[in-house]
Amino acid sequence: MKTIRDIFRNNPELLEKDEVKELLFQFRIQFEHCKNKHSRYWDAVTDLTMNSELFVKDGNNCKDVVERIHEISFIDDYIC
């Protein structure tokens, strides 16, 4: 399978087509959305775990932390 670089290196004229420009623009938007969603998820999980009783004296109860991680992983929409 060719990479994006291979495709455009061998066919630079494709970059001049409006449809290809729009496709690349839309891909960038979707990629950024996925990247940001991933970052927000791991930031939330890290915040929960690092503030748990495993790492902080009198931190959040580990059972509560695991329940909250489950919620943000499978129930909450705020990460989206």
Average pLDDT over residues 39-63: 96
Q: Can you give the pTM of this predicted structure?
A: 0.70
Q: Which residue has the higher pLDDT, 3 or 76?
A: 3
Does residue 76 have a pLDDT over 60? yes
Q: Which domain holds residue 64?
A: 16-74
Residue 79 inside a domain? The answer is no
Is there a domain that residue 1 lies in? no
Which whole-number Å values give the CA distances from 64 to 36, 37, 40, 59, in the listed order?
26, 23, 20, 11
Taking phi over 0 as left and psi of -120 to 50 as alpha, with beta for the rest, 76 belongs to beta
Is residue 11 domain-resident? no
50 within domain boundaries: yes
